[in-house]
Each structure stands twice: as C-alpha cells, then as structure tokens.
C-alpha cells in the first residue's frame, strides 16, 4: 500500500471517528437537557444513580473549562478549541498511522462537540455553556466529548511510549551501549 493510500485512509478514519464522537456527544447532551435538567430542578426527582453514588447522571451548565476553571473567559476556550481543530485537520493530512488517526479523530470530535456548545448556547456565540451530565465521586461532572478528549490524550501518550510515529513508521529506538 502506498503512503498516499495510507494517508487517505488515515484522513477518512479521523473524519469518521470525529463525526461519530460529535453525533454521540450532541445526542447525549440533548438527552441530558430534556431528561436531566427537569430532574435537577428544585421540584425534580434529582440525579439518576447508575451505580450508587459512584456513577450518577446529573445536569450541569459548565461555563468554564475542566474543573469549571476560567468561568469568566469562556471565549478563550472557544478560541483554543478552534486552534486545536485547525492543527488536527492540518496534521491529519500527514498521518500514516491508523491508531494516530483514531486518537486525533477522538480529539477532533471532542473539541468540536464542546465548541458547538460554546457557539450555540447562552449567553452568546463563543461564550456559551457546555452541558455536562456524568458524575463520579471526587471528580468534576463531564460529558462524552470530555471522555473522548481524555481518552485520545491517553492513547497518544501510549502510542508515543510504544514508538508509533504519527506518520506510520515505528519511531527509531536509541541503540543501547
């Protein structure tokens, strides 16, 4: 298989993974808005406990970033997401590894999913809140896009540690003395 064919397949994998992540993220956020927001109201039924208090579904409008940091500068996170998306798309044209394509597709889908929220939700374009609804103990509430961003980052670290270059060839291993 030529390197051009591998690059083409890698770009397709990035796009397919990203579209799946975006669709799943937006669908689950819509579910959280229609199902969980009413439950979390003062007269609602409250969270859904899937595994006691170890895994709960709630509804949170996150106006910040991870751990709700930076609530007053949401537009900065929108700008960062746009830059990340552009870098991923440019990098995808040079990929030769399907595993890197999966990782970058997950990162692209997650960044785009949360950017869609920031662009379309109140209080306005680029400053909107992100819908979060999955809660673990001692951890901030998160969503599918967040899971994909973190999962993709972990996969990228693993690929780097195992010497898988994003262009597809194994990274050179230093000779031992």
Show me where the domains of the chain are located: 3-161
Establish whether 146 is a catalytic residue. Answer: yes
Given 25, 43, 117, 132, the catalytic residue: 132
Burial of 62 (0-12, 13-18, 19+ CB in 10 A): buried
Reported pTM: 0.89
Q: For 30-78, what is each residue's pLDDT tens digit?
A: 999 999 999 999 999 999 999 988 999 999 999 877 656 677 778 888 8
pLDDT of the residue at 63: 86
Profile the chain (177 residues) by mean pLDDT over runs of 10 residues.
78 97 98 97 95 95 75 83 95 93 98 95 89 95 96 98 84 54
Half-sphere exposure in the Cβ direction for 117 (13 Å, CA):
31
Establish whether 132 is a catalytic residue. Answer: yes
Element holding 56 (H helix, E strand): strand 56-62
Given 25, 43, 117, 146, the catalytic residue: 146
């Amino acid at each position: 298989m030529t390197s051009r064919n591998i690059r083409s397949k890698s770009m397709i994998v990035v796009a397919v993974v990203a579209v799946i992540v975006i669709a799943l993220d937006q669908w689950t956020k819509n579910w959280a808005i229609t199902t969980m927001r009413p439950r979390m109201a003062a007269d609602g039924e409250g969270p859904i406990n899937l595994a006691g208090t170890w895994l709960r579904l709630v509804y949170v409008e996150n106006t910040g970033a991870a751990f709700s940091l930076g609530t007053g500068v949401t537009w900065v996170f929108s700008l960062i997401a746009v830059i990340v998306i552009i870098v991923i798309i440019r990098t995808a044209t040079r990929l030769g590894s399907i595993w890197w394509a999966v990782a970058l597709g997950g990162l692209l889908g997650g960044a785009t999913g949360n950017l869609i929220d920031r662009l379309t939700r109140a209080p306005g374009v680029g400053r909107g809140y992100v819908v979060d609804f999955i809660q673990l103990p001692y951890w901030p509430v998160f969503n599918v896009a967040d899971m994909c961003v973190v999962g993709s980052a972990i996969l990228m670290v693993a690929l780097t540690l195992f010497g898988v270059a994003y262009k597809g060839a194994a990274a050179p291993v230093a000779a031992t003395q």
